[in-house]
Each structure stands twice: as C-alpha cells, then as structure tokens.
Amino acid sequence: MKLLTHASALALVASAGLGLAGKAQAWSLEEAAKPYAGTELEVLFLDRPGYAAAIKMLPEFEAATGIKVNHTTVPYENALGEQVRDFVAGGDLDIALIDLVWIGNFAENGWIEPIETFTANADLADPDLDMADFFPLVVNAFGGWNGTIYGLPFDNYSGLMFYNSCMLKDAGFDKPPETWADLKDVYGPALTKDGKYAFALQSKRNETQSADSFARMLWPFGGSFLNAEFKSNLMSPESQAGLTFRQDLMQYMPEGIVAYDHSETVNALAQGDVAMITEWSAFYSTLASPETSKLGDCLAVAPEPMGPAGRKPALGGFSLAVATQADDAEKAAGWLFIQWVTSKANAGKYLELGGVPARQSAYADPALAATYKFIPALVESWKDGVPEFRPRFAEWPAITEIVQEWGTKMMLGEVSVEEGAKTIGEKMEAVLAEAGYYDGKKPLAQ
C-alpha cells in the first residue's frame, strides 16, 4: 500500500509538472477529485467475491481522492428492494448497483444518470475511460437501456461449466460434454452412482430459479420468454423442448435440487458430491480456494454446453451507475469512483483480488489465462451471450415471481411442463398488458 501511495504521489507530482501539456494529458484522479474531497458516498454491495475485491481496493481510492465510500453489504435477494425503497423515498444512496434485469426499471423511473452527463465533462472524464475496451455485450446488457448507457460493468458474470476433471477422468471422459444432450445421455448415466451425481442445476425459488435454471434451458434450445410481438413464446416447440430437457435432466441431479441456491450448488461441486455445475464465473475464486473447496487441481472450467440453437450461455452481472437523487458533489464523486473501480488500469488488480472485470484488455495477456482457468471460457461465452437472456424491462420483478413459482412447480411435478409454461405465459402477458405493451402505450423495448 505504501508503495502504491508513493506511486500515486509521484504520479501527482509528474502530472503537475506536465501542466503545460494538453488537458487530456493533465487529467488525474487526484486533481479531478480535489473539489469533492470529504464527500461521502453510499452504495450497496453484495456478499460476493467481486465486492470483496472492490472493498480491498477502496483504501487506495480514498487515499488518492479524500472521497469516502460507505458500503453496506446486503444479500442479493434484498438488494433490489433496498434500492427501490431508497430511491422512492429520496434516501441516501448515491450509487446504484444494477443487476442487468433491473436496468430498465431503474432507467425508466429516472433513478440513474446517463454516463454522458459525466463523460461530457472534461474535468471528470478520464481520457483513458476507453468505452470500447469493455466487452460490447456486457456494457450494453448490464449498463445500457434503450440506446443510452447508464452504468459501467462492475461485477460481471457469464455462465460457465465448472467441473471435477478427476471425476470425469475416473468415468472415462477426458473432456467435458460439448452439448446438453451429451451431458444428459452420456455423462449423466456414467457419473450418477455411489451417492454422487453428474450435475447440479441451482433451482431455488428466487431469481436463481428464473435466471439460472429456467432461462438457462430456454435459449440453447432456441426458446425464449417472449416473441417479437411481446407475447409468450414458452409454448413454442423450442421452449418446450428446453423445459422438458430440464425435467429429464433432473434424474442426474441431487434430490431436492429445487432447494439448491448458488451456495449449495457450488459447495456440492467443491466437496466432490457432483461432477459438473453451470455457475456464474464469479464463483471461480470460491471453487479455486483451498479454504472453500476440495477440488484443487481437479477444478476445470469450460464454456456451457451447446444446445440445438448454439451455446447461448447464461448472462448476468451488475453495473454501477450514479443515482439521480445524489447532490452534485456526490454525483461527481460517485462517477469518479465508478470510473476508477471499473478502469482499465485497475482491471488486473480487480481480477487478482477475486473480481471479474469486463475489460477486454485485461484478458489479452496469455499468462493470465494460465493463472485464471476461467478466462478462455469466459471470453468465449461473452461472445455468444444473449443480452435478453432475461427480459430487462421494468416488469421483470413481477414476471420473475411468476416464473419462480410455476418453474418450481414444474420441477416438482406438481404441474406438467406444458401446463406450467401455459400458466406462466398467461400471467406474463397479463403483466405486460397492464403495463401497456399491447395497446401501444409502451414501446416493445427489446
């Protein structure tokens, strides 16, 4: 840290000495932050590796700028509600933490500032911001709404296949399944024995059910939630094929899979109880750490398997955006923090500390790919991802509740795949009709 502080001081002196150079060259975080020293920022964080990494980086930012970042850690399930209530009540939050499915909601309610407000201000915009360096899919899906960018990608996920290469090897496989069909028909029977299971698909009744379980089986099979007219597409042969596949695949999953959230699923792989999982890239550090995983060198990572429609891996993640309710100083300070924590310069450190940056440049170094096994699979996945993996409009909170309830009932066999999909479709269309999508009051935003 001392070394970093000295480096910052040297940079400050150096930039002061180059005062005659152009304004872009003279820009430094320390100078830009001077008017806002002493400003305190409020932001919500999650209890996940990407946030732990950011928290470790905060002292450097605070020392360089005099801006204090107060973070409150909440469970994912509470993060949306906490922020909605804060924004409706005109509360304290200065920075919004936005899951990709919340962006439409936050943008349409006017709770977040477009980044142009800050990038157009030469005093605040880092000349090295380099928006083109972010993976385009990620910046558009996590931070963009209706052609406007509001947030910068911060905690970035793609669905990956994590697997126990030793278990696969013992069963006679030298590589993971290429397709979902192989996983079910070839790997499933061979790896499900002696109290161990081939696969675990986290399916707990919360966002995990709708995002990680239900949606994951729609897209690779050519299905989707909605068609071009915003009507339910869940009864299409492709969607039905995907959902039926999920039902068939359950025979190779642990009993009670509908009670598995991320932690149970990651733990099942980490403890050697299942051979393969499809989980967010963010859990790499949990699976790689000897403190939380028995896998050791057996841990291997691959892109998610392909379906008839291609790979279409799960896409999820968060951006950080400046809240409109903040005052001017807080807005400026908030932008400086967001810009700094997602910067090219910090991407390597963020990665090293357990985060997953969305900077293409961070993954260009081949040595990094050797150190972090998930990098090649992640980069490949972000090329094949679907921004609308889950609809990102303001009605998603209502729709996800419907999917969670009926998706779980399907898995439990309380309703058939067809009945469940039909019910979800009808209820989903009722929500969209109420919102005004079918009578032209609202544009079909995606």
Partner 1 sequence: MTTRVRRRTIAAFLGPAVAALALVGIAPLLYAVWKSLHYFNLTKLAQERYVGLDNYAAVLTDAVFWQAMGRTATLFAIAVPVQIALGLTIALVLHRPGLTFWKTLTRLSLVLPMATTYAVVGLLAQVMLNQKYGVFNQMLGWVGIDAINFIGDPTNAFIAVILWDIWQWTPFVALVLLAGLSTVPPEIEEAATLETRSNWTVLRFVQLPYLVPSLVAVLILRTADTLKLFDMPFTMTRGGPGAATEFIAVLIERVGNRQFDIGMAAAQSIIMLALTIVLARLYIRLFYREVR
The site for partner 1 (CB under 8 A) is made up of 80-81, 84-85, 88, 105, 109, 204-206, 254-260, 268, 271, 273, 394, 397-398, 401, 405, 408-409, 412, 414, 435
Locate 92 and state its tokens: 């304290």
CB nearer to partner 1: pick between 379 and 398: 398
- Output the CA angle 279-280-282, nearest 5 degrees: 130
Q: How far is the CB of 383 from partner 1 (least distance, A)?
A: 33
Instruction: Tell me if 403 sits within 8 A of 395, measured CB to CB.
Output: no
Shortest spacing between CB 391 and partner 1, in angstroms: 14
Report the alpha-carbon distance of residue 97 to residue 151 in Å, rounded. Answer: 9
Closer Cβ to partner 1, 179 or 423, answer by number: 423
Task: Please tell me whether residue 384 adopts helix, strand or coil conformation.
Answer: helix
What type of residue sits at position 313? P
Q: Which is nearer to partner 1, 70 or 109 (CB)?
A: 109
> Among residues 355, 354, 356, 358, which one has the least CA distance to residue 344?
358
Question: Alpha-carbon distance 313 to 275, whole Å?
Answer: 19
Alpha-carbon distance of 236 to 240, in angstroms, equals 6
Minimum CB distance to partner 1 smaller for 92 or for 405:
405
CA 382 to chain centre: 11
Give whichever of 125 and 258 is closer to partner 1, judged by the CB atom.
Answer: 258
Residue 35 or 81 with smaller CB distance to partner 1: 81
Smallest separation, CB 155 to partner 1 (Å): 21
Task: Quote the least distance from Cβ 205 to partner 1, whole Å.
Answer: 4
CB of 61 to partner 1, least distance (A): 32
Q: Which is nearer to partner 1, 249 or 257 (CB)?
A: 257
Using CA atoms, how far apart are residues 250 and 247, in angstroms rounded to an integer? 5
Instruction: Provide the minimum distance between the beta carbon of 193 and partner 1 in the complex, in angstroms, as a whole number.
Output: 16
Per DSSP, 102 falls in state G
Q: How many CB atoms lie within 10 A of CB 308?
A: 14
Minimum CB separation from partner 1 for residue 254, in Å? Answer: 8
